[in-house]
Amino acid sequence: MRPVYRWDCPFPDIPLLRRAARFRGVGRAAHLHIVREAWHVEWAQLPLVQLGALGVLLGVIWLIFSGRLVPSSLVPRSTLDDVRADRDARVAEAAADAEEWRQLYVAECEAHELTRRAHAEEIRAALLASTEGAQVAAALLEEIRTKQIGAGP
């Protein structure tokens, strides 16, 4: 099995480890080591990593200005104000619509309560009339009984 190279290397297979060991201290940007027959780059030795916080800050600034971190399709302030005004108008319209529906609901509840009270009053009047009729009927029956008992056979 041939070793995996990061780039074309004219080293033969057998002295590969010995020749790669020679390049360890040559001053390359990334020191190379052989790990399981493959080239391995120590990322901590790269100058970019050694920049630290300044490198990260410069990288973020570069990403912002190149348009990769913040999208370059920013909208003008006037468009944003128009969108906000439209949103506020729709919210106010929805609030007015909700208030109208609330008033209709309250009116419907009051109408329902009035209908319920009127129905209860009608039932009460009907019950009073039937009770009064029952009392008259009871009095008539009592009078008929007394007359029949008094008349005797």
**Could you tell me if residue 105 is inside a domain?**
yes
Judged by DSSP in three states, 39 sits in: strand
- pTM of the full structure: 0.40
Burial of 39 (0-12, 13-18, 19+ CB in 10 A): middle
Specify the pLDDT at position 47.
63
Does residue 108 sit within a domain? Answer: yes
| Type of residue numbered 93 | E
Residue 116 domain boundaries: 94-153
Mean pLDDT by 10 residues, the chain (153 residues): 49 48 48 50 63 80 80 80 96 97 96 96 93 90 85 63
Distances in Å between the Cα of 24 and the Cα atoms of 13, 29, 35, 36, 119 are: 18, 11, 13, 17, 102
Q: Could you tell me if residue 18 is inside a domain?
A: no
Q: How many domains does the chain have?
A: 1
Asked if residue 26 belongs to a domain, the reply is no
- Whether residue 9 is contained in a domain is answered as no
Does some domain include residue 87? no
Residue 123 is assigned to a structural domain of this protein: yes
pLDDT value for 62? 87
What is the enclosing helix (H) or strand (E) of 77?
helix 77-151
Per-residue confidence (pLDDT) for residue 55, from 0 to 100:
80
Contact 43, 49 (CB under 8 A): yes
User: Is 131 within a domain?
Assistant: yes
What the block records as the tokens of 117 is 């009270």
Which residues are within 8 A (CB) of 55 and not within 5 positions of it... i.e. 6 or more apart? 48, 49
